Structure 1
Amino acid sequence: MDGLRVTNNELIVLLDPTGRAIGTAPKAPSHHSETPLHLAFSCYLTDPAGRILITQRAHGKASFPSVWTNSCCGHPAPGEGLRDAIRRRVRTELGLGVEEPTLVLPRFRYRATAADGVVENELCPVVRATATGETRLDPEEVEAAEWRDWDECVALVDHPTASPWFRSQMEQLVPLGAPAEWPAAAPALLPPAITW
């Protein structure tokens, strides 16, 4: 699937409150005012200088358009491992490769409502990885991407255009220190629905 666009046929993995898979559903029609709990991920890409790639979601995105957030978010396909899902989405959205993925927040969960009433409701493991290559943005997914120092990332939390999941993740990440200092979490702590 690497590099291929998955659109109307993309499936999300539905979860029970313990993080066990209970089925699948089409991605687009599943996001509404009563979006069911489902599996996702968030990735923070770093460069050799320790900066983080911060992205702005495309203006045409169905949920939370135009917000600034972490490097890449996505939904693992049924049966797809977390590292494979991250590599696939980072390649598709940003044109980048991924090295040294490290699990940081294995059980991060959030629920957020957009201005139009669409809800995100995700169990969303957070991973840090090193980016390789040159950015090549998919304009249907990403409006802009900027490498920012950690202090700038922390300051983004207070900006009105920051995504709600970025704010919630940063509440847990900032106490861990700069990205290079984030400790690795054990893959055994992941939700039962996903493998490392």
Structure 2
Amino acid sequence: MIIHCTECRQYVEASEAGNYWRHFDGREPSCRYTLLACTACQSPILVRQTNLGNMAEGDKWDTPFVVFPQGDLRVNPNAPKNIRAAFEEACTCYRSQAYTASAIMCRKTIEGVCTEHGVTERNLSASLKQMKAEGLIDERLFEWSDALRIVGNEAAHGVGVSIGQPDAKDTLEFTNAILDYLFSYRDRFEQFKKRRAGEA
């Protein structure tokens, strides 16, 4: 399996050292965990894959998601596939020191977030304002998202503009925080409130 090793910072043809299958339980699709060994530095790598197949097609596994070790950057597995792909590309650009390209892909990720929530205004600025008006994001997340939009605009439209490493890192981390909030913590908090209301 070809995978990116976060220890030696390169793509390697990792060797398989073990595996574990979690079978379909009626709610979640089956998934498999594979323990790999980096052929360059011998570091262990644990990846997870979800079965996207069905009875007719058979097993069909998605792109491996690195569970361990967690690198300095990670992609929320609960985010939709197209949004994960955009953010993964932003992370790849950052690791390659293509900081301007990373900022552009973060902006694209935020656009995807708006579209995923059914908000498609005439431009990203208007979409973010609509997201706030609908209560999908609060004032703080709106400020973060709008700052990401501005950095992305500068990166995309200013030929002479280059984004430095500190701004690119902050852009990645803010984008990741937005993905975590919208695709993990918001739903978990709503479930928590419902559970607490039921116990009251």
| TM range, smaller chain | under 0.3
* Structure having the higher Rg: 2
TM-score by length of 1: 0.27
Higher relative contact order (CA 8 A, sep 6+): 1
Q: Of Structure 1 and Structure 2, which has the larger fraction of its residues in strand?
A: 1
TM-score by length of 2: 0.26
